[in-house]
Structure 1
């Protein structure tokens, strides 16, 4: 579809725009804070390692909430908006699973006691939500003003996909970033986690516990993952409200998913290939969408290359689910074959 008459050459035309009022944003943020407060209160009162049943119930609850939220979007704004939310949420959720591999390494590197890992993950996720919110606002502002950002996002996603394929099968490692190294040097840190609080009193001196360093590690590491997940979801929807809520629902259940999957993470050997296919697909989708809708001077006399095919949201959803499903089935089948071969040997 061509841009409406009078659209500025540097802007991106969109097929529809959600009219999200300030009150809707406020209500969404209040609900998010309330859920996080309840979660933190529960963990703070009784630090423990959750059982598989507990983790499964929490994951099911957050998935159900995301589905209900999508139905609400469908009722208020139509099927396309709901389809973009579901596709964006599924993409962010699947990319978040990749975060868990690094989270496992961080927990082991800092020797975090199992009963405190829930609190570490929750605070780290809160930090990630705050930082992702800033990323989303910046990304939305860039996209609304500069159409060439689509090409940068698309190229970056394809590059990330190639990197994931090259690294498939290699052991992931965690490198301390500059903020973590600074915190360890500049802050007085105790050698014990104590009772799981951020500070402890030692011989009359207030010290930070390693909990703070681990939380910084979790939060900043997730921010690095946002460098590919945020452009990926902007390849699905340009609506900041849908981008933000999809990220919220993806991250909210990440803590429980960490405990639910457990050792299963090590068995998903082809997950990186599945995620690479998803990122490459979205990167190509961004290029095609940019060619179709952008009004750059060197494209068709400034009117855009409107013959470029458009990828509908339902096809995006099918491709994403298919890639992730095939990667999971292939991973489990490979592990099953290895187990059978081991028994025969």
Structure 2
């Protein structure tokens, strides 16, 4: 895919303008978005992503368009899973609802910076070392197994016991600097008796930002398993993060009903991990040396079908399970 420098400049400029509007016009008034406001914003961002994918189809062809959509859907799904942790962080740090929008907005900007760095590093490594696909694939398979283990563990534990809101970065800053007990609006620091104090908002942003740094370790190898085009990797990540703040408020309650989401994502990550390993096998012509009568490369249309199919089955199964749990609770209440 031949992407000229001017295309990069125009794309980044448009993204910056959208973020600037979000930060300086919408974000300057801290509030809890209504369902209508959140739904409208998500619809606009999704429509923009679909329009972009269609544009890729007409400019570069169906294969690259399928790569973008597969990457975008995967990254969006991983972002939705990340919202579970964001909910826990906001709850543990007792962030007022009207300030959560600002915290999420700054957290997403930090996430974009981290993603850009990881995308550049990933592209550089891939261009120099084809064997990095073996490493990426193994890491995604490990992550998939870990997701299943965590799912089984959280079935027995209370999710509120999660320590995501008090990670190493937050503990380090708390230990070395003075801090206020209460939030001071959107201020990150305030002066008290001539001494600069940190506010809880800074700790919230630190928790969100450092947590997303860990998320990027999973998501960047995952999308490079679907496309090796840095331009598509970048735009898929940006579109996946756009509207995440509104999605947080729109489906906050629904997240609890997506009980099988982690399992579905584990299947997707394992599939992409295997795809990466097979791609590396093909790059080193090991399939030819083994005398295999077929190509081990998994086509992008199959990847997109697996991703969409797994997410559809996961969502339906989750909603059926949640509805069944509600019915059992109602029956138990009626019995008493």
Q: TM-score, normalised by structure 2?
A: 0.92
The 3-state SS of whatever aligns with 1:188 is: coil
Counterparts of 1:73 and 1:143, CA distance in 2: 23
Q: Deviation digits for residues 35-67 of structure 1, max 9, x if unmatched?
A: 111111234432111111111111111101100
1:283 matched residue in structure 2: 273
Partner of 2:118: 135
2:309 aligned with 1:322: yes
1:190 to 175, 180, 191: 180
Of residues 115, 129, 146, the one that matches 2:129 is: 146
Give the one of 240, 244, 249 matched to 2:239.
249
What's the CA shift for 1:186?
2.6
Report the secondary structure of 1:152's partner residue.
Answer: helix
Paired residue for 2:96, among 108, 113, 116?
Answer: 113
Are the equivalent residues in 1 in contact too, given 2:114–2:216 (CA < 8 A)? no
**For the structure 1 residues 155 and 217, does the alpha-carbon distance in structure 2 shift closer, same or farther, using more than 3 Å as the test?**
same
1:291-310 alignment, distance < 5 Å: 291-295=281-285, 307-310=294-297
Structure 1 residue 331 displacement after superposition: 0.8
Q: Structure 1 stretches of 5 or more lacking a match? A: 1-17
Which range moved further: 303-312 or 117-126?
303-312
- 8 Å CA contact 1:43–1:119 kept in 2: the answer is no
1:304 is displaced (CA, Å) by 10
- Tell me by how many angstroms 1:310 deviates: 2.2
1:334 equivalenced with 2:334 (yes/no): no
User: CA offsets per residue over residues 98-148 of structure 1, 9 Å max, x none?
Assistant: 110110111011111110101101101111110111111111111111111
CA 1:282 to 1:158, structure 2 compared with 1: closer, same or farther past 3 Å? same
- Supply the distance in 2 between the matched residues of 1:235 and 1:99 (Cα, whole angstroms): 20
- CA gap of 1:342–1:127, structure 2 versus 1, over 3 A, is same
Cα distance, 1:310–1:274 mapped onto 2, change above 3 Å: same
Going from structure 1 to structure 2, the CA distance change for 1:180 and 1:55 (only over 3 Å counts) comes to same
Shift of 1:26: 1.5
Q: Distance in 1 between matches of 2:41 and 2:143?
A: 31
Does the 8 A contact of 1:292 with 1:306 survive in 2?
Answer: no
Secondary structure of residue in 2 paired with 1:249: helix
Question: Shift of residue 288 of structure 1?
Answer: 1.5
Matches within 5 A, 1:112-261: 112-169=95-152, 170=154, 171=157, 172=159, 173-175=162-164, 176-261=166-251
Structure 1-normalised TM-score?
0.89
Which residue of structure 2 aligns with residue 75 of structure 1? 58
Please say which of residues 38-47 and 279-288 is displaced more in the overlay. Answer: 38-47
DSSP 3-state at the match of 1:206: strand
Q: 1:20 to 1:306 in 2, by over 3 A?
A: farther
The two structures, once aligned, show a CA RMSD in angstroms of 1.9
- Cα deviation for residue 189 of structure 1 reads 2.1
- The match for 1:8 is none
Q: How far apart, CA to CA, are the structure 1 residues paired with 2:292 and 2:200?
A: 55
Higher helix share: 2
Work out whether residues 292 and 304 of structure 1, in 8 Å CA contact, stay in contact via their aligned partners in 2.
no
Q: Structure 2 unaligned runs (5+)? A: none
